[in-house]
Structure 1
Amino acid sequence: ALVNLSREYNVAQQCIEINIKGTFNLLESFRITKPRIMVFISTEEVYGSGPIPYIEEQPLDPPSGYAISKIAGESLCRIYARELGFKLIILRVGTMYGPGDKDNRLIPQLIMKALKNEEIPVNTGMKKRDYVFIEDVVKSLTKVLDIKNIDTHTVINIGGGISYTLLDLVNIILEETQSNSNVARGKIPERIGEASEWLMNIGKANYILGWKPTVSLKVGLRKTIDYFRKKVQ
């Protein structure tokens, strides 16, 4: 338990340094650069155990230091946007994945183990997440910058609009890699306080931006696997 507390403390400390102090420093620079618009990337995790599908106006329920730091970042951005007069768009993004992802994140780890036919340890595998491919997220950013009449201080959910269990994710990866990896359920403990399902309502993104995801989880994982297969080779 002490090890877990220490790990969580270190993660929270990193989040404060990067997501709060880093955001503050960036916002202070706006006094000189005077931008017209800012797009702040937040996370679906800020909704926590709230009712699903998450809508932008519902109360926030952050379950982690990371989520708390993102809410703090959102609040800082609002304060500076009011003071300095720039337009602020907050995108709360689902579980993003794709080529170029860091090796220590969940999906790259699962893919690398599958490619090497190594055992894949998971928890119960039944928690559901809303996965969104990096290309779709980039398209949403382009849409934001193209819209001229978007309201100031707008919050928009960007997600896949469908939730999948961890086992769904693993099974697609095993199928696409033709892996012989064994899935060891129960080898990893569940994260305490984490919601059983994260799912975004993305109707606002479609209405305001004309955006919706176009890359299915299977196709997105196939592209991501191709990227990591080259790294393994």
Structure 2
Amino acid sequence: MKILVTGGAGFIGSAVVRHIIENTKDTIINLDKLTYAGNLESLKSVENSERYFFEQVDICDRAELDRVFNTHKPDAVMHLAAESHVDRSITGPSDFIQTNIVGTYNLLEAARNYWNNLEISAKKAFRFHHISTDEVYGDLPHPDEQEGSLPLFTEQTSYAPSSPYSASKASSDHLVRAWLRTYGFPTVVTNCSNNYGPYHFPEKLIPLVILNALEGKDLPIYGEGDQIRDWLYVEDHARALYKVVTEGAIGETYNIGGHNEKQNIEVVQTICNILDALVPKDTRYAEQITYVTDRPGHDRRYAIDSSKMSAELNWTPVETFETGLRKTIEWYLANQSWCKNVQDGSYQRERLGEINS
């Protein structure tokens, strides 16, 4: 197949591109605007492949999207391009509306126009795979709020987004499903839990904590650090996404989770313990933990039921949180130059998303 991957220079997108080039015979067209979080250094291992092509294009630019479809003639689209950091969405929601909603609309229309003009067999085989987040569901009961077994997000969970980021992603999900219902456009949607792993831009919790710890800086924890997330190793996610685009059923939604519910404070303490063993110093890294004012509208718990992925597509995560986190930390220790190169003068791991009263 020829697969058009939007956002293929980002964290999850680059993992998808590497996985497909390294493990299949498919061709990738990587379409990425190269914002602050998109980095072609993440694709050094595949950039010389004869099955890899790069197009620097903004998904809000309809004319350029039409050109890319007509030039490369893809068999499928994997749509990952998005603004994705909740803290940035709190203080700058406009970029999220433009990219996640308007950009998705433009991509849907460019893809639909292309699809409408395909021959019957190619039209039947075409897929538009929209990659989304579990944050569209809002949050779940927390253990300190409810006794007994706790619910999980399923594919039938109602949407209740809490942040400008998750609201913009929820909107894009609705657009994708509307294009299926109204136009018969062949779409499939996935919603994933929190990803972690190599090549993650250091505004997110795990890479930020690793790099701050190594530099002797504070390790900031929002509120009491009791927020719970289900952690999914990014390479497990990439395998799942390829399964969906090649084997998933049109019109279906698939939830993809890591089966690793952890409190944020647990995550940070585990990173500190691993660093104590790998890069020992006179004091323990956990002594750098500090508690800061919580994020506005912070969801308390996410957790995914990915049994549908397991039952219908024979996918389960390979990495446990412990094995995946150790691999992640070892990668950051071995790739300090990548970390330095992706942090330009506009971001030095300062806190984002505070609301000035």
TM-score by length of 2: 0.59
Residue of 171, 176, 182 corresponding to 1:72: 171
What do the CA deviations read for 1:26-70 (whole angstroms, capped 9, x no partner)? 111113321611111111111113453111102111011111111
* Inter-partner Cα distance in structure 1 for 2:88 and 2:246: 44
Could you list the runs of 5+ residues in structure 2 that have no partner in the other structure? Answer: 1-86, 116-122, 142-150, 338-357
2:25 pairs with 1:25: no
Counterpart mapping for 1:1-233 below 5 A: 8-10=90-92, 12-34=93-115, 36-50=126-140, 52-123=151-222, 124-147=224-247, 150-178=248-276, 180-181=284-285, 182-186=287-291, 188-232=292-336
How well do the aligned residues superpose, as a CA RMSD in angstroms?
A: 2.1
1:213 alignment partner AA: P
Q: How many residues align?
A: 225
Contact 1:48/1:194, CA 8 A, preserved across alignment:
no
Structure with more contact order per residue of length (Cα contacts < 8 Å, sep ≥ 6)? 1
Larger displacement relative to structure 2 (118-127 or 59-68): 118-127
What do the CA deviations read for 1:96-122 (whole angstroms, capped 9, x no partner)? 111111122221100101222333121
TM-score by length of 1: 0.88
1:209 alignment partner AA: L
- Superposition misfits of 4+ residues, deviation over 4 angstroms: none
Contact 1:50/1:61, CA 8 A, preserved across alignment:
no
Q: Percent identity?
A: 29
**Cα distance 1:104–1:174, how it changes in 2: closer, same or farther (>3 A)?**
same
* Inter-partner Cα distance in structure 1 for 2:95 and 2:230: 25
Contact 2:140/2:300, CA 8 A, preserved across alignment:
no
Specify the SS of the correspondent of 2:335: helix
* Inter-partner Cα distance in structure 2 for 1:202 and 1:191: 28
* Inter-partner Cα distance in structure 1 for 2:322 and 2:164: 31
**Cα distance 1:173–1:62, how it changes in 2: closer, same or farther (>3 A)?**
same
* Inter-partner Cα distance in structure 1 for 2:89 and 2:101: 19
Specify the SS of the correspondent of 1:122: strand
What do the CA deviations read for 1:182-217 (whole angstroms, capped 9, x no partner)? 24342x112233232111111111111111111111
Larger displacement relative to structure 2 (131-140 or 205-214): 205-214
* Inter-partner Cα distance in structure 2 for 1:201 and 1:101: 24
Specify the SS of the correspondent of 1:20: helix
Q: Which has the larger helix fraction?
A: 1
